[in-house]
Structure 1
Amino acid sequence: MNSFSRKYRKLKNNPKLFFKDMWNKQIRKIKQHSPVKYTGKFQYTIVSAVYNVEKYLNDYFKSIVNQSLDFKKHIHIICVDDGSTDHSAQIIKQWQKKYPNNISYYYKENGGQASARNLGLDYVKTEWVTFIDPDDFIHVDYFKIIDDEIGKDENIVLIATELATYHESNESYSYKNGHLSYNYASNTLVPVNNLNNHIHLSVCASMFNNNLIKKYNLFFDEKIKPCFEDGNFISDYLLYSRTNNIKFLPDCYYFYRSRADMSSTTNQQWDQEGKYIDVFKYGYIPMFKKYKKHWGYVPTNIQFTFLFYAIQYFKKFLDQKEKLKNVIDDKKIKIFNKHMNQCFEYIDETTIMKFHLLGCNFFTKKDF
């Protein structure tokens, strides 16, 4: 289907979405060619783990270089090539040649996203750091909005930006339709020690204070695969930020690319053994123990974090238990069930009844 046919079908099926996408696209084009560049107050580093993303890198770089916050003055990109076998390295070096003071390139043998991000963190010198994935892109005012907000409150240690989805298959966008969109109903400042049901799970759509990361020697656990690397890093970060604040920023969009070929880690995670063993052993269970040790209790937001993932297991396998046997054997299924029960020992019944995400209702909760 050609581009015209896709656009016509979108106009016919959802005219409101068609015109909104068209408007946002034109705004981005206008701002990308605008000579106006803003000078901000802070310096930022982007650490990106790169693995075979050659066809996405130009979109990634364009969205950063064309930021309304002056790229040359405020933003540094660290690309860590995790053993790519395509032309990712050549494309990065082409952009590095244009901006030698703003783009760094490092190569390592393939070891996974966590190890690549950890290597990149070693080279971060700025006060603020984020982890934009190289197959995604950001709104043209992304860094300007963040810079303005950080300057308003010295106790902010985490900026949580809003996720939008770019559907590669039909070149359309989805806004404010995510499961965590309630966090962005308004420009919200929330104390870390009272987050309640406010959870944030993406390090890509986050801005972290690097001083805190260095102080507590925080890193991405390379044993947690194929998911929850982000959630675990954020939970560790918040563990040591109890007296600080999180700012949830609506309309400061991070565009997650939903790949047409369904080749992302998100799409493939359910077929990997680590999803059922390692994620529990090195992720969820240690997370609960850390909060119990340091805070004396497990706060609601951490319980919600686990339930957000737990409901996905329940919904996927509750009525299709035979599917699980296609991924792990009976012995490992017993370990998986043991770990799941161990996690629920940290979950309050009142929290389960409050949990409302991913279509969770009473009939699902009774199976918890």
Structure 2
Amino acid sequence: MNTTFSVIMPVFNSEPYLKEALDSIIRQTLSFKDHIELILINDGSEDDSEALCLQYKQNYPENIKYKRIENSGPAVARNTGLDLVSPSSHYITFLDADDKLEANALEAASAFFSVHPSVKIAAIPIYYFEEKTGSHNLNYRFDQGSRVIDINKEYSSPHFYIGGIFIDRSIITEKVRFNESLYFWEDALFVNKIILSEQQYGVISGTKYWYRQRISLNSLVDTAWKNKYRYTELLQTGYMELVTASLQMHGLILPYVQFLLVYHLKLLLVKKNNEMMEKTLNETEIRIFVEELKKLLVFIEDKYILEQSLLNYRKEFLLNLKHDGKFGKLEFIDKIDKEASIHITEKKLKGLHVEMKGYFTSEFYSMKESDKVYIQIGNRKMYASHRDPGKKVIIWGYLVTDYKNDGFLIQVPIWCLSFRFGLETHQGDIELKRINYIKTLYRRLFKRK
């Protein structure tokens, strides 16, 4: 058998999904019997995964290797698989036992490496299926087609996931292994140490790695948020090890590494993950986590935080952690969305007026105590009174944004059918949302007809 690809698949209690994953390899457009070696590592499964693996091995004895180990985690399972790769194999890839490969994935990878023989590591785009569907956020890297990314020129194109990665076997040595002390992010660290060494990686378009977002949400990635390891220890071992690797290889922390760390770190700022963290860690553990994060942020230039696709108040939060609260606010009054910044939450008829309650909101500006919401009727200004909407943003116990000045209450004359909201600030007046009840009434009458 002239082996071209070795596919390493750790298996742990994957019986409901395993057949689909196995078949996606066997049914590749690249001949399974002639060019593919499938290495199955049973990581101590307690279901019927072993029986299914052995059945497939019996059907394809020349192409499938199988080994059972005590439950040790994905890093140990993948390293065990690496040790079983045949010397004749050219490229190594990994597939989780609940995921699957597009039928042309290996053929597309083979074609890419034939055009780019000097490239030692490449990735294919990731797409979700089952509970969540659609394209992975990082798939923008594939918009220009198959190509080679120079991480020194395109540092804002990080890669994390082991699935859909193809690695030239010639660079896999005894030192190139998954860190078995890590229980999360071991794949990102493994992949990125190789990328740092190569300073480039390929992106292969026209195919897909299918990542199963389980309905049960019981995968290692899903449950990691409930594991204390996911927080402080990840900073100390996973993140900092990548920082150390960059320093050892290049004498500096490459922009690629800095951008990548913030890109991954921002997941912790998402509300649901923030809430999960507060349920998982106690107050002392959260405080220790924040102190460790501050140490990490010292290695990251401000620009790589500012360049992230991240809400402004979250950027402010990270930058103020880094600068001990001395960074201040990120405000861009010229970026306020004039139509979307005024929200009316309640309208009530009171005599000859309509009482409106609402709030001002913008990612780029928070109202000051001296700011005033008003409505403009012709040349006349009518000011709203302040009211606290009770909205706050708290991250890891820190009050990040308090919207106490953003609420308003205003009395609008009942005869006024058209007016514009505005905001009076120390930088001048800003015209905001226009209200036109004449148009609203016309549309309603038109719809009835």
Q: Same fold (TM over 0.5)?
A: yes
What displacement does 1:42 show?
7.0
For residues 92-111 of structure 1, what are the structure 2 equivalents within 5 Å? 92-111=53-72
Q: Which residue of 305, 329, 342 corresponds with 2:282? A: 329
User: In the alignment, residue 30 of structure 2 is paired with which amino acid?
Assistant: L
Q: What code does the residue aligned with 1:361 have?
A: L
Could you tell me which residue of structure 2 aligns to residue 25 of structure 1? none
Instruction: Determine the structure 2 residue equivalent to 1:11.
Output: none
| 2:192 alignment partner, one of 218, 235, 238 | 235
Q: Flag the structure with higher strand content.
A: 2
- Give yes or no for contact 2:91–2:166 (8 Å, CA) kept in 1: yes
**Deviation by residue 1:120-176 (Cα, 9 ceiling, x = unmatched):** 111112221111101111111111111001001121111110001112x5xx852xx
Q: Which residue of 2 aligns with 1:31?
A: none
Aligned residue type for 1:250: S
Look up the match of 1:362. Answer: 312
1:365 aligned partner, one-letter code:
K
| Matching of residues 232-311 of structure 1 within 5 Å | 232-242=189-199, 245-311=200-266
Q: 2:230 corresponds to which letter in structure 1?
A: K
Deviations 1:174-206 (A, max 9, x none): 2xx321121111223212443411111111110
Q: 2: CA distance between counterparts of 1:203 and 1:135? A: 14
1:319/1:120 Cα in 2 relative to 1: closer, same or farther (>3 Å)? closer
The residue type paired with residue 181 of structure 2 is K
Distance 1:204 1:262 in 2: 18
Which digits, 9 at most, give the CA deviation of each residue in 1:190-239, with x for residues without a partner?
A: 1244341111111111001122121x6111112222x2111111121123
Alpha-carbon shift at residue 325 of structure 1 (Å) = 4.2
Show the counterpart of 2:181: 223
2:159–2:192 Cα contact (<8 Å) kept: no
Amino acid at match of 1:288: V
One-letter amino acid matched to 1:99: Y
Q: Give the Cα separation in 2 of the matches to 1:155 and 1:338.
A: 42
Match of 1:352 in 2: 305
**Per-residue deviation, 1:275:** 0.4
- The 5 Å alignment of 1:1-368 reads 43-125=4-86, 126-167=89-130, 169=131, 173-174=133-134, 177-187=135-145, 188-214=147-173, 217-225=175-183, 227-242=184-199, 245-316=200-271, 320=275, 324-356=277-309, 360-368=310-318
The alpha carbon displacement at 1:294 in A equals: 1.8
* Cα distance change, pair 305–42 in 1 and its aligned pair in 2 (3 A): farther
Task: Give the letter for the 1:136 counterpart.
Answer: D
Aligned length: 315
Following the alignment from structure 1 to structure 2, what is the Cα–Cα distance between the partners of residues 89 and 267? 24
**Cα root mean square deviation, aligned:** 2.0
Instruction: Give identity over the alignment, percent.
Output: 23
8 Å CA contact 1:68, 1:140 repeated in 2: yes
In structure 1, C-alpha distance between the alignment counterparts of 2:272 and 2:125, rounded to whole Å = 30
Q: Which amino acid aligns with 1:219?
A: R
Q: Counterparts of 2:55 and 2:96 in 1: how far apart (Å)?
A: 19
Of Structure 1 and Structure 2, the greater helix share is in: 1
Return the TM-score normalized by structure 2: 0.67
Gaps of 5+ in 1: 1-38
Kept in 2, the 8 Å contact 1:50–1:80? The answer is yes
The whole-number CA distance in structure 1 between the counterparts of 2:133 and 2:27 is 20
Amino acid at match of 1:149: F
1:309 shift after superposition: 1.9
Structure 2 CA distance for aligned equivalents of residues 247 and 44 of structure 1 = 17
The 3 A distance-change label for structure 1 pair 128 and 192 is: farther
Amino acid corresponding to residue 118 of structure 1 in structure 2: N
CA distance, structure 2, for counterparts of residue 284 and residue 79 of structure 1: 29
The alpha-carbon deviation at position 89 of structure 1 amounts to 0.5
- TM value normalised by structure 1: 0.81
Asked if 2 retains the 8 angstrom alpha-carbon contact of 1:223 and 1:278, the reply is no
Give secondary structure in 2 for the equivalent of 1:247: strand
Cα distance in 1 for residues equivalent to 2:284 and 2:21: 43
Moved over 3 A (4+): 192-195, 316-320
In 2, Cα distance between the equivalents of 1:338 and 1:289? 19
Of structures 1 and 2, the one with the larger relative CO (CA 8 A, separation 6+) is 1
* Contact kept in structure 1, 2:108 and 2:206, CA below 8 Å: no
Displacement of 1:318 in angstroms is: 9.1
Return the alpha-carbon distance in structure 1 between the equivalents of residues 43 and 302 of structure 2. 43
